[in-house]
């Protein structure tokens, strides 16, 4: 299955997984808990068929959250130098390049989360200057399709000092790149359009925050 039909089934599977999570959060009846767990398993099976990923892997991924199901938050920090080169880090997972960032942790303000990620992944201390955009990943052409709903928060940031050694567990390399000479991007994390929009906000900080 592919195309619009596959996307419709994927969206149904995501909603089923969310309903299952909500049900398990609010019921204490053991029979209902079992039914909601079965619904989550069926959602994982649907997603496995569509993505060719193992069902067991998707069951674990869908089971990481508890409580009422809400979108996950991915934060990304865009830092430019005086030559309008952007700071990128090379991901250990796929060997491609991305803006520093990752999942926001509970108890962190988004601006704190993004500056922590910049420091950990690039070694540079930074401060969040403005929120560039709050984007729905589903509408931003960031592959591949995910089994959960994700909001992507992009921040314009400024450097606060010289670099220290980045965290070696996540980062293969760090570099500064012109947007017309970019290395291979980790497109699930950032794409050319998003970098272009970040540069526009760097040039004009009065541009309004984008919501889509």
The reply to whether 113 falls in a domain is yes
Domain membership of residue 188 (yes or no) is yes
How would residue 68 be classed by pLDDT, with cut points 50, 70 and 90? low
182 and 133 within one domain = yes
pLDDT at 1: 57
Q: List all residues 6 or more positions away from 132 whose beta carbon is below 8 Å from its beta carbon.
A: 78, 154, 155, 156, 197, 198, 201, 209, 210
pLDDT by residue (tens digit) across 12-31? 888 887 777 777 766 778 86
Domain-located, residue 111: yes
pLDDT at 14: 80
Structure tokens at 45: 């099976």
Asked whether residue 142 falls in the same domain as residue 96, the answer is yes
DSSP state letter for 92: T
**What does the alpha-carbon distance between residue 163 and residue 176 come to, in Å, rounded to a whole number?**
13
The CATH number that applies at residue 116 is 3.90.79.10
Q: Structurally, how many domains does the chain consist of? A: 2
Whether 34 and 93 share a structural domain: no
**58 lies in the same domain as 83:** no
Question: Quick one: pLDDT at residue 2?
Answer: 66
Stated pTM of the model: 0.74
Query: How many of the other CB atoms lie within 10 Å of CB of 100?
Result: 31
Contacts (Cβ under 8 Å, ≥6 apart) of 155: 75, 76, 77, 78, 110, 111, 114, 128, 129, 130, 131, 132
Out of 18, 34, 62, a domain closes at 62
Could you tell me which residues are beta bridge partners of residue 158? 127
Query: Residue 67: inside a domain, yes or no?
Result: no
Residue 46: give the domain boundaries.
3-62
pLDDT at 5 over 60: yes
User: What are the start-end ranges of the E strands in the chain?
Assistant: 72-79, 86-91, 97-98, 101-103, 126-136, 150-159, 171-177, 210-211
Residues 41 and 78 in one domain: no
Shared domain check, 170 and 94: yes
Residue 191 has pLDDT above 90, yes or no: yes
pLDDT band at 169 (very low <50, low <70, confident <90, very high): low
């Amino acid at each position: 299955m592919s195309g619009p039909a596959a996307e419709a089934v994927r969206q149904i599977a995501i909603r089923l997984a969310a309903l299952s999570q909500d049900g398990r959060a609010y019921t204490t009846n053991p029979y209902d808990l079992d039914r909601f767990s079965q619904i989550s398993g069926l959602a994982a099976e649907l997603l496995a068929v569509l993505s060719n990923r193992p069902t067991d892997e998707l069951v674990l991924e869908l089971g990481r959250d508890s409580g009422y199901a809400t979108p996950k938050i991915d934060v990304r920090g865009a830092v430019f130098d005086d030559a309008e080169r952007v700071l990128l880090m090379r991901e250990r997972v796929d060997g491609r390049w991305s803006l520093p960032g990752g999942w926001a942790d509970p108890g962190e303000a988004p601006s704190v989360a993004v500056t922590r990620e910049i420091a950990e992944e690039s070694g540079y201390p930074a401060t969040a200057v403005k929120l560039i955009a709050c984007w729905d990943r589903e509408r931003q052409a960031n592959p591949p399709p995910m089994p959960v709903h994700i909001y992507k928060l992009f921040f314009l940031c400024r450097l606060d000092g010289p670099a220290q050694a980045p965290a070696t567990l996540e980062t293969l390399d760090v570099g500064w790149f012109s947007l017309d000479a970019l290395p291979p991007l980790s497109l699930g994390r950032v794409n050319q359009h998003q970098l272009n929009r970040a540069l526009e906000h760097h040039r004009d900080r009065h541009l309004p925050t984008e919501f889509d």
